[in-house]
Structure 1
């Protein structure tokens, strides 16, 4: 099975971590930002990361890919079966994909992607507004929501944790980490989830790449 994209994308990283927790091997092939093999555009017609191929089956979008992976290999169970737990898991994935990433991406794009990969200055005013105005109330919500167990749903690892932890890697790549005085549970939570082998491999590779 082939995954097209870059693990620096929180969506690609989430998919890679989910697959690793399932014990599914994915061949990551570089693609995105207008680059990649023709097969990438077949799998992802609008050029969005990640794209995916399994034989003659192609699909894009991290949620769609994860849904496929979960269906072909149900265990270990990372999408709870109990109705309320499953709904909460879906909510946290959506929260990460459309709320947390939306704020963090303004910081990441303008402080790293634009100057490093596009050769132009980023919009620091937009990044600063996201950092000071948009992100804090999002993290306040997450700090309140985190259970004592350190897992968002059913006191065990689920897609919820994989989805929510992934964007924090991007924030760390630009030197931003949560204030441990204001968000102590988030600090402990992200450290624990991102230390898992399913994430650590990619975080280490990204850190080395960006430092080169």
Structure 2
């Protein structure tokens, strides 16, 4: 199975970590920012990463899909163990909520910081706006961290006291904040800081984050 994109994207990173937690090995093909060619375009008609291909899965034809949520849902249905999207109604709903929070609310803010403090100025050498990053870091981000600080259970997992898609989704964007040199204040948000550190230290995330940090260092 092939994932098209780069783990510098929190959505690609989420898919790769999700698969790793299931014991799956996915091939990552560089795509996005003009890369990927026809194979990527077939998997992701609108050029968004990640794209995904499962060769021969659709009655002998390749199954292609894009969007991290759709990809994770497919992997969960095809490989139900280890279960990472709970089936019990409340736990299932909470998992989907946290994924949506991470993808649509949290990263919408984190992206302003990441884009204007790393991606645009350092990686792409394009104009950036520090005022946007500063407002996101100082005004928009704290309420989201306050929310997480109030909902993280003592177990260190958001749903069912075990690793799920909820934890993978929520913690993935924190890697982008780290790339932008934004560190979560452990004095103000101790539960959140400890939670993120623990999830990102899992074997599913560690090699991904290590490789990304080596890449990021080349743009310092």
TM bracket (short chain): over 0.9
Paired residue secondary structure (2:171)? helix
Aligned partner of 1:93 in structure 2 is 99
The 5 Å alignment of 1:116-131 reads 116-131=122-137
Which deviations, in whole Å up to 9, do the C-alpha atoms of 1:88-111 show, x marking residues without a partner? Answer: 000000000001100000000011
The 5 Å alignment of 1:175-186 reads 175-186=181-192
Quote the Cα distance in structure 2 between the aligned partners of 1:156 and 1:72. 21
Paired residue secondary structure (2:65)? strand
Which consecutive unaligned segments of at least 5 residues does structure 1 have? none
Aligned partner of 1:5 in structure 2 is 5
State the shift of 1:37 in Å: 2.4
1:77 is aligned to 2:83: yes
Paired residue secondary structure (1:197)? coil
Quote the Cα distance in structure 1 between the aligned partners of 2:180 and 2:147. 23
Quote the Cα distance in structure 1 between the aligned partners of 2:63 and 2:129. 39
Paired residue secondary structure (1:170)? helix
Which deviations, in whole Å up to 9, do the C-alpha atoms of 1:44-102 show, x marking residues without a partner? Answer: 01110100000110000000000010011000111111100000000000000001100
1:205 is aligned to 2:207: no
Aligned partner of 1:145 in structure 2 is 151
Aligned partner of 1:168 in structure 2 is 174
- Taking only aligned residues, the RMSD between alpha carbons, in angstroms, comes to 0.7
**TM-score, normalised to structure 2's length?**
0.95
State the shift of 1:210 in Å: 1.2
Which deviations, in whole Å up to 9, do the C-alpha atoms of 1:12-35 show, x marking residues without a partner? Answer: 000000000001110000001222
Aligned partner of 2:63 in structure 1 is 57
Quote the Cα distance in structure 2 between the aligned partners of 1:166 and 1:89. 15
Which stretch of the first structure deviates more once superposed, 189-198 or 110-119?
110-119
Quote the Cα distance in structure 1 between the aligned partners of 2:121 and 2:42. 29
Which deviations, in whole Å up to 9, do the C-alpha atoms of 1:93-130 show, x marking residues without a partner? Answer: 00000011000000000111111232223111111110
Which consecutive unaligned segments of at least 5 residues does structure 2 have? 56-61
